[in-house]
Amino acid sequence: MPKVYAIDGFTPVVDPTAYVHPSAVLIGDVLIGPGAYIGPLASLRGDFGRIIVERGGNVQDCCVLHGGEQDDTIVDIDGHIGHGAILHGCHIGRNAMVGMNAVVMDGAVVGENSIVGAMAFVKAGLAIPPRSLVVGAPARVVRELSDADIAGKSRGTAMYHRLTQRSLGTLRAVDPLSRPEPGRRRFTPADVDPL
């Protein structure tokens, strides 16, 4: 069971088809949509403003989502938030990706089907057009994404859709083994890749 806290009468809402890791923290005005994935140690603090993770969105390990009363923090349908990213009062568009350890600030909008590169800093109020590749600190658009780029991003997000199902079905706390089993199997593409 994740760590879920109400504040000032706001209780987080998690769709029953979403997966929220037990070490994740949800506080206040947080809305998690169908099929969403919230990873280990993610912190979604809806104590100043609303946080929304729409259908199929994923917020990976150690991400922080927060914002103020003026700007909701939104991860739109199939939004993909990489490990350690920070979102603050921004809107991540449908099927967009924010790379690992990137920061997206208040009032920024990441357009549909865009990719924000790892460790990028998207300044407050920046509007990123759809299908853009954005890198750097401060972040800047470097090119338009191809259909192949977007398909690759979508495949990664589909793997997180599958991880939601795998986690709901099989993830459980256990005691560690003292040594590997003989012939210990490895993950295969059939285990993790939905395509």
d(CA 138, CA 103): 10
CB 20 within 8 A of CB 32: yes
What b-and-e string marks burial along 141-171, b requiring 16 or more CB atoms within 10 Å of the CB?
beeebeeebbeebbeebebbbbbbeebeeee
Residue 70 has a pLDDT of 81
d(CA 65, CA 56): 17
d(CA 84, CA 73): 16
CB 81 within 8 A of CB 63: yes
Enter the pTM of the model: 0.94
Q: Where are the domains of the chain?
A: 3-147
d(CA 55, CA 138): 30
**What architecture is the 3-147 domain classified under in CATH?**
3 Solenoid (2.160)
CB 165 within 8 A of CB 158: no
Residue 195 has a pLDDT of 66
Of the candidates 32, 14, 140, 135, the residue with the CA atom closest to the CA atom of residue 79 = 32
Tell how strand 140-144 and strand 132-135 pair up: antiparallel
Tens digit of each residue's pLDDT (9 = 90 or more) over 64-111: 999 988 889 999 999 999 999 999 999 999 999 999 999 999 999 999
Residues of the chain with pLDDT under 70: 195
